[in-house]
Amino acid sequence: MIDAGVLAPEDHVELIDGDIVTVTPQKSRHATAVRLAETALRHAFGEHVDVRTQLPLALDAVSEPEPDVTVVAGSPRDYRDAHPSTALLVVEVADASLLFDRTTKASLYARGHP
């Protein structure tokens, strides 16, 4: 959609169940929490996983959310040609999105778990 000019690269959106959902811009507290979670997870899991921040998780053909932090198997090079489709751990930091994260996104992540 970016290539077609429908969306701009700076548009904050996610694909959720076939719908393009606008994501609110991050406030400082949210960004700090995401960075702290990322740092803690890198230390906890070590070097044999990829800890990704706000990058796509290709759950199915109609859902590609961008969780705040995900821990996926492998290394960044493993996802050069395609986004990961499963995660060992998904973290959403809720500031203004608590209800959406606990309902819609939680259900989406549960469906995507093998």
Q: What is the pLDDT of residues 5-45, one digit of tens each?
A: 666 666 677 778 777 877 777 889 999 999 999 999 999 99
- From the centroid of its chain, how far is CA 48? 19
Q: What is the pTM of this model?
A: 0.82
- Give the integer Cα–Cα distance in Å for 51 and 54: 10
What residue spans define the domains of the chain? 13-112
What distances in angstroms separate CA 92 from CA 37, 38, 63, 80, 98, one per listed residue? 10, 11, 16, 24, 9
Residue 1 has pLDDT above 60, yes or no: no
Determine the pLDDT at residue 100: 83
Determine the pLDDT at residue 4: 61
- Give the integer Cα–Cα distance in Å for 59 and 51: 17
Q: pLDDT tier at 62 (50, 70, 90 boundaries)? A: confident
